[in-house]
Amino acid sequence: MLEIKNLHARIAEDGTEIIRGLNLTVKAGEVAAIMGPNGSGKSTLSYILSGREDYEVTEGEILYNGENILELEASERAAKGIFLAFQYPVEIPGVATMQFLKVAMNEQRKYRGEDELTTPEFMRRVKEAAAELKIAPEMLRRPLNVGFSGGEKKRAEILQMALLEPKLCVLDETDSGLDIDALKIVADGVNALRSPDRAVIVITHYQRLLDYIVPDTVHVLYKGQVIKSGDKTLAHELEANGYADIIEAAA
């Protein structure tokens, strides 16, 4: 589903290279975990995947279902099924959450040539998904992410994911800021989306989330490269020993 080949990317503004020859393949139906020390480029990779323009790809390619997506706008990638749950969801005062959800869902449908949702159908879907994630209706009446607690923001990201039904889900530290119950709820939400035609990339620092969302593969990102890949036992290894050994072995 996703093939990243020898990707090099830099910050457009000052030219600093962050991603330095990264290779990664994720198959449909797979859950891949990406781990790695702070500043290794995990969030940057997720931004580049979803089309943030602050970064410039200088080499390599990203194939999504065989299509090179580097020329596509962020909105087009989203409509084609790429979803990023942000490490830091963005507050947008003045944009009502419900209005945002409706516009996002319908714009994606329009792009794909599908009919727009009727208001009752939209309401029904939101109500149902919000209930699953234990999101209070009052929260949805507020402006987008404004005044949401850290955990509420993460839950709202998963709500968006559930409603948009993406094919490739990238979760950037969705576990951070969640209490134990919320972690379970969010993990259940992600697991509910697992399907043979969907892939999930989980970026995390902790094994805890991976106890709930059990990955098929684990990749260690360091200085803009995947320096080691393995199965779920690799995450346990990291939890026990940290990154030092792996970094050393790769050097």
Ligand X SMILES: Nc1ncnc2c1ncn2[C@@H]1O[C@H](COP(=O)(O)OP(=O)(O)OP(=O)(O)O)[C@@H](O)[C@H]1O
Residues within the interface to other proteins (CB under 8 A): 47, 50-54, 73-75, 77-79, 83-84, 86, 89-90, 92-95, 100, 103-105, 107-108, 111, 143, 160, 164
Q: Residue 41 interacts with ligand X (CB under 6 A)? A: yes
Q: Smaller CB distance to ligand X: residue 152 or 172? A: 172
Contact pick of 24, 31, 35, 40 for ligand X (by CB under 6 A): 40
Return the beta strands (E) in 112-166 as ranges: 143-144
Query: What is the rounded distance in angstroms from the CA atom of residue 171 to the CA atom of residue 81?
Result: 14
Least distance (Å) from ligand X to the CB of residue 33? Answer: 13
Q: Residue 44 interacts with ligand X (CB under 6 A)? A: yes
Query: What is the rounded distance in angstroms from the CA atom of residue 223 to the CA atom of residue 56?
Result: 17
Q: What is the CA radius of gyration of the chain?
A: 18
Q: Hunting for tokens 């990154």 — which residue is that?
A: 243
Query: What is the rounded distance in angstroms from the CA atom of residue 50 to the CA atom of residue 162?
Result: 17
Q: Residue 11 interacts with ligand X (CB under 6 A)? A: yes
Q: Hunting for tokens 């323009």 — which residue is that?
A: 53
Query: What is the rounded distance in angstroms from the CA atom of residue 204 to the CA atom of residue 215?
Result: 11
Least distance (Å) from other proteins to the CB of residue 106? Answer: 9
Q: Smaller CB distance to other proteins: residue 101 or 234? A: 101
Query: What is the rounded distance in angstroms from the CA atom of residue 107 to the CA atom of residue 200?
Result: 23
Q: Residue 43 interacts with Mg ion (CB under 5 A)? A: yes
Least distance (Å) from other proteins to the CB of residue 114? Answer: 12
Angle, CA of 63, 69 and 72, to the nearest 5°? 175
Q: Residue 40 interacts with Mg ion (CB under 5 A)? A: no
Q: Smaller CB distance to other proteins: residue 189 or 215? A: 189
Q: Residue 18 interacts with ligand X (CB under 6 A)? A: yes
Least distance (Å) from other proteins to the CB of residue 194? Answer: 21
CA distances (Å), origin 61, targets 8, 30, 35, 80: 9, 21, 22, 17
Q: Residue 10 interacts with ligand X (CB under 6 A)? A: no
CA distances (Å), origin 58, targets 45, 46, 72, 157: 14, 16, 16, 30
Query: What is the rounded distance in angstroms from the CA atom of residue 129 to the CA atom of residue 112?
Result: 22
By a kind-dependent CB cut-off of 5 to 8 A, residue 89 interacts, out of Mg ion, ligand X, other proteins, none, with: other proteins
Q: Smaller CB distance to ligand X: residue 102 or 224? A: 224
Q: Residue 225 interacts with ligand X (CB under 6 A)? A: no
Q: Smaller CB distance to other proteins: residue 142 or 232? A: 142
At 34, the amino acid letter reads: I
Q: Residue 46 interacts with Mg ion (CB under 5 A)? A: no
Q: Which residues bind ligand X (CB under 6 A)?
A: 11, 18, 36, 38-44, 54, 87
Q: Which residues bind Mg ion (CB under 5 A)?
A: 42-43, 87
